Amino acid sequence: MKILGESIKKDFPIFNDSKLIYLDNASTTQKPKQVLDAILSMYNETNANVHRALYDIGSAATERFEDSRKKIAAFINASTEKEIIFTSGTTESVNLISHTLGNSLGPDDEVLVSEMEHHANLVPWQMACERTGSTLKFIPLTEEGELDLNEPEKYFTPSTKIISITHVSNVLGTVNPIKKIAKMAKDIGAIFIVDGAQGVPHQIVDVENLGCDFYAFSGHKMLGPTGIGVLWGKMDILQSMSPFMGGGEMINSVSMQTSTWNDVPYKFEAGTPNYVQAVGLGAAVDYLSSFGMEKVKDHENELTQYALDRITQLKGIKIFGSPMHRSSVISFNMEGIHAHDLAQFLNEDNIAIRVGHHCAQPLLTSLNQNSVARLSVYVYNDSSDIDKFCRSLSNIRKYF
């Protein structure tokens, strides 16, 4: 289990001379020195606004910014880097679509999501449906925590105009059948959006192969900085869409009466972009690519299965969801111990996990839970982290 894990922890300054066991990677990930160096280099060497300055450091900043766009396009196999729109994260990416395509909905139209969605892929569609009078529908879940697609005709109808589904549940770890849903969406002529916040960091994502129309993800969940994310979209759809925000580089020409828009992707990047963070995300892509995402996935799968085997040996543990295809997330509760108390006791052993509703309140309601504990691993975790976590759980059980 040393494919990655302890062999790369030296790259992450937060672990230097630290006893930290960080198991909250579905929330955010730690940053390797390579990413931090890229960010610092931008500020120290080429700090200038992009796409504006003709002087040398401005040109260098623009080149590094656009080079990151190319890296990200290659990372997810976009047909062109022009399909990569920089946003502040998955939340803004989904809101961009809900305020552009979403505003074209009418009272006879339907938007389809699932019962496992993060609030960021639910609330924007609630707001869009409220604005337009359209109807929001939900795909329910099976007892195993998978999408119940046994009666698709109940959800995929001629009235369905937009489908927005998470690639991977941030609570259950369920990996959804995106290619299958993409075909179902195409068969009814619906636009298909994928929330890939928990997808891109953990597996190979090929947007051309998946068959979706949009794919959104966040940099900070894949070793990159906060404040930067991506919306990938098919070029023909992006060209037909109206801008989300106005101002700055999203314009072509402006008069006192009217304006015309810049080309894609700049039409959707109003104002000064998060160019330093974008370069940091490019460095994170380089770092992950140095291993290969197949290796990342194999490491996480092995470690997640090891964690499941260890945790299920403990008394009084209830694990939520048993999907056939699982990512690196395990949500659970310990009988007789509130999840918040559990997290505080784990913190005494320098172990960081997440507890709460995980921005997925409807899903927790369906599980009849107010709060659950969540373990989530990443490239720098290893079996010793899981062993220490399980020893701490055992000691907490004895204490109570």
Kind of pairing between the strands at 329-334 and 372-376: antiparallel
Q: What CATH number is associated with residue 323?
A: 3.90.1150.10
- What does the pLDDT read at residue 241? 96
Give the residue from 290, 324, 351 where a domain finishes. 290
Q: Give the DSSP per-residue string, 112-136.
A: EEETT--GGGTHHHHHHHHHH--EE
Q: Rounded mean pLDDT of 261-271?
A: 95
Are 192 and 307 part of one and the same domain?
Answer: no
Angle, CA of 287, 291 and 32, to the nearest 5°? 30
Among 260, 290, 320, give the residue marking a domain's end: 290
Q: What angle do CA 211, 217, 219 make, to 5 degrees?
A: 145
Q: What percent of the chain has pLDDT over 70?
A: 99
Average pLDDT over residues 322-341: 96
The pLDDT value recorded for residue 399 is 82
Q: How many domains does the chain have?
A: 2
Q: What is the mean pLDDT of residues 53-68?
A: 95
169 and 296 inside one domain: no
Q: Does 179 lie in the same domain as 305?
A: no
Residue carrying the six token digits 């994502």: 205
Q: Looking at the structure, do residues 254 and 379 belong to the same domain, yes or no? A: no
**Rg (alpha carbons) of the chain, rounded to whole number:** 22
Name the amino acid, one letter, at 335. Answer: E
pLDDT at 2 over 60: no
CB 126 within 8 A of CB 175: no
CATH number (domain holding residue 275): 3.40.640.10
Q: What is the model's pTM?
A: 0.96
| Greater pLDDT, 139 or 399 | 139
Distance CA 288, CA 303 (A): 18
Tokens in use for 378?
């990443």
For 340-373, the pLDDT digits (tens) are 999 999 999 999 999 999 999 999 999 999 999 9
Q: Pairing mode, if any, of strands 229-233 and 84-87? A: antiparallel
Q: What is the largest CA-CA distance in the chain?
A: 72
- Could you tell me the pLDDT band of residue 208, with boundaries at 50, 70 and 90? very high
Query: What's the pLDDT band for 3 if we cut at 50, 70, 90?
Result: low
Residue identified by tokens 């104002």 is 271
**Which of 257, 290, 323 finishes a domain?**
290
Same domain (yes/no): 104, 232: yes
Give the pairing type, strands 214-218 and 229-233.
antiparallel
Task: Check whether residue 101 and residue 181 sit in a common domain.
Answer: yes
Beta carbons within 10 angstroms of residue 311's beta carbon: 18
Residue with tokens 């997440």: 354
Select the more confidently predicted residue: 268 or 249: 268
Task: Check residue 18 and give its pLDDT.
Answer: 86
Set 129, 212, 359, 390: catalytic member = 359
Residue 59, pLDDT > 90, answer: yes
Mean pLDDT over all residues of the chain? 96
pLDDT of residue 158: 97
Active-site residue flag, 359: yes
Q: Are residues 178 and 306 in the same domain?
A: no
* pLDDT greater than 60 at residue 1: no
Are 205 and 214 contacting, i.e. CB atoms less than 8 angstroms apart?
no
If asked whether residues 173 and 121 sit together in one domain, one would say yes
Domain span holding position 356: 5-29+292-399
Per the rule left: phi > 0, alpha: psi between -120 and 50, beta: everything else, 28 is: beta
Average pLDDT (123-147) is: 98
Q: Average pLDDT in the 114-128 region?
A: 98
Is 144 in the same domain as 267?
yes
The structure tokens listed for 228 are 């930067």
